[in-house]
Amino acid sequence: MKLTSKASIALLLLAAGISAASAQTFGQKKKTPKPYEYGDVVMNNFSAAKNVAPVVFKHWTHRAKYTCRLCHIDLGFAMQAGATGVKEDDNANGLYCGACHNGKEAFAGKAKLMSRANGSCDRCHSAGKDKDVASRFEDFVRGYPTSRFGNKVDWLKAEERGLVKLKDHIEGVSIKRKTLSIPSDEQIKAAVKGMPDILFSHQKHAVWNGCELCHPEIFGVKKGSTVYSMQDIFDGKFCGACHGKVAFSNLDCQLCHTKEVN
């Protein structure tokens, strides 16, 4: 039986409510980040030990200019916060952040132009210091299509409309790759009765991630070889490696569960 529009919406809202409970109430409820905080990664492997404020890496300032693949594949950043262990010397030698922050691609790091004396380090080592971040974020995303969750920006539509132009190559770091054919959309059966099936778009994901960000480390290359559940996703695995952390929130059910229920 085909569900009415109201029934479909009610089902999705119910599912979102269940998802929110599942994702956020195991143990202590997590604080919902503000839009300008969504996707923030605090880099504090070494800073506090040197009496320096931690680096706050803001995904929104970077994802508007670069693909996820560029940073996590070509530059070698791990997908888990703190797992890379970036040091100041690494950046000074052109690795990690230093591959771009060299005074040419982006503003230079301390070892090139900045000094603690003039306070320029605070631009990255900004934990507890960045007082106008909310207004800067509002200015940054003004005119972008909106979304309901996360940082309230629909990045897919922004890219489709040309508001976001993604760079996927850094000279001297990236290698030239042959363009691979993009598989067609894939239908993934929903495990919950009455829930719309997922229509997974390889095309949309390839724009940001390429193929190698997801395969084979997160998902096996062979169809059906990876078995996972929604609970795994809420726990930050598989789709949850990005969704719910940086990509749109996994609470926005209808962005993935899009095939109409019959």
Q: What is the pLDDT of residues 36-58, one digit of tens each?
A: 999 999 999 999 999 999 999 99
Query: How many domains, in total, are found in the chain?
Result: 2
Mean pLDDT in the chain? 86
Note whether 144 and 211 are same-domain residues: no
- Residue 25 domain boundaries: 5-31+178-259
Note whether 80 and 205 are same-domain residues: no
In this structure, which amino acid lies at residue 151? N
CATH number for 111:
3.90.10.10
The pLDDT, as a whole number, for residue 29 is: 58
| Closest alpha carbon to 166 in 205, 138, 207 | 207
Note whether 223 and 211 are same-domain residues: yes
Q: Which residues pair with 153 in a beta bridge?
A: 146
Last residue of a domain, one of 137, 158, 175: 175
Note whether 157 and 205 are same-domain residues: no
Last residue of a domain, one of 175, 194, 226: 175
The pLDDT, as a whole number, for residue 28 is: 57
- Residues of the chain with confidence (pLDDT) below 70: 1-29, 109-119, 262
Q: Return the residue matching tokens 């040197």.
A: 50
Note whether 94 and 111 are same-domain residues: yes
Note whether 190 and 158 are same-domain residues: no
The pLDDT, as a whole number, for residue 118 is: 44
**Which tokens sit at 100?**
């771009």
Note whether 91 and 162 are same-domain residues: yes
Distances in Å between the alpha carbon of 254 and those of 102, 147, 150?
41, 12, 15
Note whether 46 and 103 are same-domain residues: yes
Last residue of a domain, one of 144, 175, 206: 175
Q: In the chain, what are the helix, strand and coil shares in percent, each to the nearest 5?
A: 35, 10, 60
Q: Which residues pair with 46 in a beta bridge?
A: none
Note whether 86 and 158 are same-domain residues: yes
Element (H, E) at 235: none
Note whether 212 and 100 are same-domain residues: no
Note whether 71 and 149 are same-domain residues: yes
The pLDDT, as a whole number, for residue 223 is: 87
